[in-house]
Amino acid sequence: ALKRKGDSSSLVFADLTADEYRQVRDYMWNQPALDIARDSHAKPSENFIFMIDLQLPRKADALRFLDKGAAKPERNARVVVFHGTLGQIKEYVVGPLPIPTYHTDVTRIKYKADVPLSSRTVTIGEYSLLFNFLGRELFGKLDKILKESFDIGTGKALLPYEAMPRGIRSSTGMRVFDIRFKGERIAYELSVQEAMSVYGSNTPGLILTKFLDASIGIGRFAHELARGVDCPYNAVYVDTVRYIDITEPKTFKNSICIFEHDTGRPLRRHFSDFFSNSYGGLANSVLVFRTITAIGNYDYIWDFIFYQSGSVEAKVHATGYISSSYKIHGSLKYGHQVAENTIGNIHTHFINFKVDLDVLGVKNMFQVKDMTFKEVELPWLPGQTAKVPHLVEKTLRTEKEAAQRNGEKIPRYLHIASNQTNRWGHQRSYRLQVISFTGEHLPEGVPEEKSMSWARYKVAITKHKDEEESSTSLHSQNGMLNPPVDFSTFIDDNENIMEQDLVAWVTTGFLHIPHAEDIPNTVTVGNGGGVILRPHNYFDQDPSVDSPDAAYIHPT
Amino acid sequence: ALKRKGDSSSLVFADLTADEYRQVRDYMWNQPALDIARDSHAKPSENFIFMIDLQLPRKADALRFLDKGAAKPERNARVVVFHGTLGQIKEYVVGPLPIPTYHTDVTRIKYKADVPLSSRTVTIGEYSLLFNFLGRELFGKLDKILKESFDIGTGKALLPYEAMPRGIRSSTGMRVFDIRFKGERIAYELSVQEAMSVYGSNTPGLILTKFLDASIGIGRFAHELARGVDCPYNAVYVDTVRYIDITEPKTFKNSICIFEHDTGRPLRRHFSDFFSNSYGGLANSVLVFRTITAIGNYDYIWDFIFYQSGSVEAKVHATGYISSSYKIHGSLKYGHQVAENTIGNIHTHFINFKVDLDVLGVKNMFQVKDMTFKEVELPWLPGQTAKVPHLVEKTLRTEKEAAQRNGEKIPRYLHIASNQTNRWGHQRSYRLQVISFTGEHLPEGVPEEKSMSWARYKVAITKHKDEEESSTSLHSQNGMLNPPVDFSTFIDDNENIMEQDLVAWVTTGFLHIPHAEDIPNTVTVGNGGGVILRPHNYFDQDPSVDSPDAAYIHPT
Ligand SMILES: [Ca+2]
Ligand SMILES: [Ca+2]
Ligand SMILES: [Ca+2]
Ligand SMILES: [Ca+2]
Ligand SMILES: [Cu+2]
Ligand SMILES: [Cu+2]
């Protein structure tokens, strides 16, 4: 495990240490008014600390500290308490760390309502991965390992991202803060929000239970990664520390891996025999951050991939066991038989990512671009026309206008843009390219749909709010009919999104019709989706031209 | 270069050797009636052999030989002659090899019309890659190389495909015949057909010239691959021999590479701490066949990827230089400025693959599957209903019904199915999963559109015909207004496709709005597309369970 050192800026996003967890826990235990049980086998009628996690600073405070030299924001914890005595779940902000002196009930501020304690038994919940390292340190180690393992010095290829993992931690899933490329912040946050499935079945157990079961999200099970299978043998493996459904922080060894990977396909190349008989090219070496979460039957592989060209990709693949049911009369309307008396039930996989791009600061706009054929008169043949492709660009002004629904025709290029221009006069932007194969989303009239309303949109754009931290909540699985977070309300107020701090919420996934080859395990091939964030007129030219690994050959 | 040996079955698809080229050329030169010039600098008014290539045997003959022990079909060549004296292009079948004794003019049989010799100067034409090796041999060498280079014996992982590259050659682009997995043929042919682009511009040079220029297809320029950049250093590099626009066969060194690649992501894995605390997984090692063609400014990277799970993927990525034009008034309607006075013009990339799956023989059907929500009464709550996902399956009966147009709502699962069933009673099938980001296709009314009418369809299914060998032709770039091949006519006769030999024609690609980062070269990240052919109830379970590389861990 890597240890914390030096650079204090990472502490803004760094997760709680085992010591900090204990400080927060002890502070809460010592509040007589809260009357919290210290026993890990507390009864449902008692009060119990379910989870401790980092409370993110307000974004404005973090940016003032990171960019303007203001004081470091106070470091706080978020504590989720199951109040058996009240029949409620409450969330507290506890601070300041390292020695807490206060706690505030933020439940109503966060969810605009009380959250009922419908069930003490949370069999599957949110997981909280906690990183305890600094980017610089990690990269130093990575570089050394890669240097030792291979014949090449690789640090240079990764150079553009050296300042990147200032903060990286995970609560609902893997997340990265303050992604910088060539020293410039391109994203404040990139994070997994939710993984949801809806199953088809005619067996009572699956129609609703699985339905709820599947809405949990990413789950809390990120276990040790298998060296050489889950990640390359020489990857850097990082431990995480979590405090959830226990009374002592627990370390999960090697639950994150980070590695450089050669995609086996050049990033770019060109051979010319027309004029110069020359060759230029560059191998596509990428940096991968990975966790794998095993939520009951399913395993999701979560990758954040960093390219030399300044692109960043968030990718998810499903594997593990399919959910199945005993074959009864009529079962085949809901899936295929995959084994003796066993139906693999049809289901959806919907995944939501939060993509808080900050393109040259927080004041951005949402642009869409596409192509259309227009009739044009030929300059040299008056009266004669031809259909010619035209570029169509548009800036969308409000949250509702910007909401790109799944299943509808969506402009092919979606951009978060600055109003600053590059050398050629074009607005500097990052493009969102979504790779998705989702099935139908639950119809909107269905009551439970509100708890997963983010899945209506392939891409939705909202004005950033600290209170709209996530498209889902820890408590959604217990209250789908009256969910603490209904994402659609984020855009219902239809705010102006011109020159605002914008957040893109991206949905990907695939329809899964299980078949015999899903036994024993669903394979990852074709069973995934993601989003690529690509610089588009952000630079004046491709930034990988500076890569020292580029090859140029001029044959004689 | 690998040499031919032993197994004669591969000769059905193996390309012509340098000796065979010369035999065919000499035979043609010696026909007084054809009056063919022997000078490589023949005048446009003379007759000239433009290209020699393998003439594929009729599929029925090849199958009788491969599967029924019938005699090996006669080996023939296809010869394209530019008849300056007639103002026509003619195609001849010349045979039998090795010593030809006859030639037949097949132009009208093939194209139902004469092909005018609009221009002797073919600046960019079809290319013809010619393989000279046998599968068994190649794999032997590959395995040895991989064994020497890495610490692992890899042949076993690739075992299921050992009989695969019986024939592999390329005419319009890379192609593979008789793909067998675990000894069973899954595809008769997988081949690149065409690469097409349509540009937007207001400069006379680009509106039509590029338009035609872009319809050429894959081009004839597959040059030497750069070791370590274009393909991994330790790949097997294969030479090809071509006879096009010359008078002697020419060898292109290392113009194809074949390698095993670790995708860096497990093929499957599952960790369970619920019941058994066990782990199982398998690294995703794939076999890649690659060519890279540089057609003037653009480079296309063509990959056929073979997975241990029985999936086969055809993938294309674009890189190289974008086409650009001098910036004039009004240019920005057609693209972005990407350099001093330079507009990168908006354009489409459309790629067509021929996918002749044979699922347990040639008698197949085309099935589509999808999911829909239906209102269902809850068994335990009479009167109460819920929306529940249902599996919807349909077999499409005619070519027109089966044509899946770009831009329209397409069923999510497309299958070529046998009427034989697997152990669980389901029709054994291969699914086509298309990954595509195409822009608008040229409107159908436009005269040139007929020469690229395959691009109307994301997937089209036709009844196999030897005469419908390709969705395009070598002569299309010279006759776009009256193209020798108009793909849409393949389905205009709307034939019955129930229990027929089916061919899927798959279109992929992307809309390209050039931006500053396309300078100096378009990067491959996000700029590609393809199709994955996936077994779906083809087996009784995932065939990779037999892989000796699978890891199983039961921690104590
Ligand atoms: Ca809002
Ligand atoms: Ca933002
Ligand atoms: Ca037909
Ligand atoms: Ca077929
Ligand atoms: Cu699934
Ligand atoms: Cu392009």
Residue among A280, A296, A412 minimizing CB distance to B274 = A296
Q: What is the mean pLDDT of the segment spanning A185-197?
A: 90
Residues of chain B positioned with their CB less than 8 A from the CB of A335: 391
pLDDT of residue B217: 37
CB B474 within 8 A of CB B125: yes
Percent of chain B surpassing pLDDT 70: 81
Task: Answer yes or no: do B371 and A551 touch at CB < 8 A.
Answer: no
Instruction: Check whether A117 has a pLDDT greater than 70.
Output: yes
pLDDT of residue A205: 63
Give every CB contact of residue B12 below 8 A, 6+ residues apart in sequence.
Answer: B57, B62, B65, B66, B72, B73, B166, B167, B177
Amino acid at B496: N
Q: Summarize pLDDT for B247-275 with one digit per residue, the tens.
A: 888 888 888 898 999 999 999 988 765 54
Residue among A200, A230, A339 minimizing CB distance to B269 = A230
Whether A21 sits among the annotated catalytic residues: the reply is no
**A45: helix, coil or strand?**
coil
Residue among A313, A425, A553 minimizing CB distance to B337 = A425
pLDDT of residue A220: 54
Residues of chain A positioned with their CB less than 8 A from the CB of B520: 268, 270, 280, 541-542, 545
Task: Answer yes or no: do B301 and A265 touch at CB < 8 A.
Answer: yes
Three-state helix/strand/coil letters over A72-91: CCCCEEEEEEEECCCCEEEE
Residue A15 C-alpha to ligand 2 middle, in angstroms? Answer: 22
Residues of chain A positioned with their CB less than 8 A from the CB of B551: 226, 228-229
Residue among A271, A337, A386 minimizing CB distance to B294 = A271
Q: Identify the sign of the CA torsion B48, B51, B57, B59.
A: negative
Please, what's the b/e burial string for B291-327 (b: 16 or more CB within 10 A of its CB; e: otherwise)?
bbbbbbbbbbbbbbbbbbbbbbbbbbbbbbbbbbbeb
Residue A493 C-alpha to ligand 1 middle, in angstroms? Answer: 5
> A145 phi and psi, to 5 degrees?
-60, -45
Q: Between chain A and chain B, how many beta carbons pairs sit less than 8 Å apart? A: 370
ipTM here:
0.89
B4: distance to nearest CA of chain A, Å?
Answer: 28
Task: Answer yes or no: do A269 and B521 touch at CB < 8 A.
Answer: yes
Task: Answer yes or no: do A389 and B200 touch at CB < 8 A.
Answer: yes
User: Which class for A297: exposed (0-12), middle (13-18), buried (19 or more C-beta within 10 A)?
Assistant: middle
CA contacts within 13 A on the Cβ side of B446: 22
Please state, in angstroms and as integers, the Cα–Cα distance from residue B117 to each residue in B83, B90, B121, B403, following that order: 7, 9, 10, 33
Band of pLDDT at residue A10, cut at 50, 70 and 90: low
Pair of tokens at residue B414:
């497309």
Given the residues B111, B237, B298, B300, the one annotated as active site = B298
Residues of chain B positioned with their CB less than 8 A from the CB of A265: 301, 303, 317, 524
Band of pLDDT at residue B477, cut at 50, 70 and 90: low
Residue among B232, B269, B540 minimizing CB distance to A516 = B540
Whether B27 sits among the annotated catalytic residues: the reply is no
Instruction: Check whether A320 has a pLDDT greater than 90.
Output: no
Residue B417 C-alpha to ligand 4 middle, in angstroms? Answer: 10
The answer to whether the peptide bond before residue A98 is cis (omega within 30 degrees of 0) is yes
pLDDT of residue B544: 86
Residue among A281, A313, A538 minimizing CB distance to B229 = A281
Closest residue in A to B235 (Cα) is A264
Residue among A226, A307, A422 minimizing CB distance to B516 = A422
Select from A388, A531, A553 the residue whose CB has the most chain B CBs within 10 Å, as the one to mutate to test that interface: A388
Instruction: Check whether A170 has a pLDDT greater than 80.
Output: no
Task: Answer yes or no: do B335 and A303 touch at CB < 8 A.
Answer: no
Percent of chain A surpassing pLDDT 70: 81
Q: Give the number of other CB atoms < 10 A from CB of residue B382.
A: 7
Residue A496 C-alpha to ligand 1 middle, in angstroms? Answer: 8
Residues of chain B positioned with their CB less than 8 A from the CB of A262: 232
Residue B421 C-alpha to ligand 4 middle, in angstroms? Answer: 17
Closest residue in B to A531 (Cα) is B526
pLDDT of residue A178: 87
CB B506 within 8 A of CB B353: yes
Instruction: Check whether A351 has a pLDDT greater than 60.
Output: yes
Closest residue in B to A381 (Cα) is B204
Band of pLDDT at residue B478, cut at 50, 70 and 90: low
Ligand nearest to C-alpha A214: 5
pLDDT of residue A55: 92
Average pLDDT of chain A?
A: 82
Instruction: Scan for tokens 């990120």, then name that residue.
Output: A222
CB B353 within 8 A of CB B379: no
pLDDT of residue B383: 83
Given the residues A111, A298, A300, A430, the one annotated as active site = A298
User: Which class for A119: exposed (0-12), middle (13-18), buried (19 or more C-beta within 10 A)?
Assistant: exposed
A143: left (phi over 0), alpha (psi -120 to 50) or beta: alpha
Instruction: Check whether B5 has a pLDDT greater than 70.
Output: no
> A86 phi and psi, to 5 degrees?
-105, -15
Instruction: Check whether A160 has a pLDDT greater than 90.
Output: no
Band of pLDDT at residue B484, cut at 50, 70 and 90: confident
A508: distance to nearest CA of chain B, Å?
Answer: 14
Angle at B263 between CA B259 and CA B266, to 5 degrees: 130
B101: distance to nearest CA of chain A, Å?
Answer: 38
pLDDT of residue B268: 92
| Nearest by Cα to B79 from B41, B119, B29, B12 | B29
**A521: helix, coil or strand?**
coil
Task: Answer yes or no: do A259 and B264 touch at CB < 8 A.
Answer: yes
Select from A181, A221, A259, A269 the residue whose CB has the most chain B CBs within 10 Å, as the one to mutate to test that interface: A269
User: Which class for A230: exposed (0-12), middle (13-18), buried (19 or more C-beta within 10 A)?
Assistant: buried
Task: Answer yes or no: do A521 and B270 touch at CB < 8 A.
Answer: yes
Given the residues A15, A213, A358, A486, the one annotated as active site = A213
Q: Summarize pLDDT for A236-257 with one digit per residue, the tens.
A: 888 888 887 778 888 888 888 9
CB A132 within 8 A of CB A3: yes
pLDDT of residue B255: 86
Q: Give the number of other CB atoms < 10 A from CB of residue A489.
A: 12
Q: Summarize pLDDT for B85-105 with one digit per residue, the tens.
A: 998 889 999 999 999 999 999
Residues of chain A positioned with their CB less than 8 A from the CB of B267: 523-525
Task: Answer yes or no: do A311 and B515 touch at CB < 8 A.
Answer: no
Instruction: Check whether B170 has a pLDDT greater than 60.
Output: no
Q: What length does chain B have? A: 556
CB A371 within 8 A of CB A412: yes
DSSP letters spanning B268-287:
EEEEE-SSS-EEEEEEEEEE
Give every CB contact of residue A242 below 8 A, 6+ residues apart in sequence.
Answer: A127, A128, A129, A130, A220, A249, A250, A252
Q: What is the mean pLDDT of the segment spanning A166-186?
A: 71
Band of pLDDT at residue B215, cut at 50, 70 and 90: very low
Of the listed ranges A199-208, B216-225, B448-457, the one predicted with least confidence: B216-225
Closest residue in A to B392 (Cα) is A333
Band of pLDDT at residue B341, cut at 50, 70 and 90: very high
pLDDT of residue B273: 58
Residues of chain B positioned with their CB less than 8 A from the CB of A348: 371, 389
Q: What is the mean pLDDT of the segment spanning A353-364?
A: 97
Residue A194 C-alpha to ligand 5 middle, in angstroms? Answer: 15
DSSP state of A209: I
Of the listed ranges A201-205, B7-11, B308-312, the one predicted with least confidence: B7-11
DSSP state of A100: -
Pair of tokens at residue A52:
């401790």
Ligand nearest to C-alpha B465: 3
Band of pLDDT at residue B493, cut at 50, 70 and 90: very high
Ligand nearest to C-alpha B322: 6
Of the listed ranges A84-98, B144-158, B327-341, B497-511, the one predicted with least confidence: B144-158
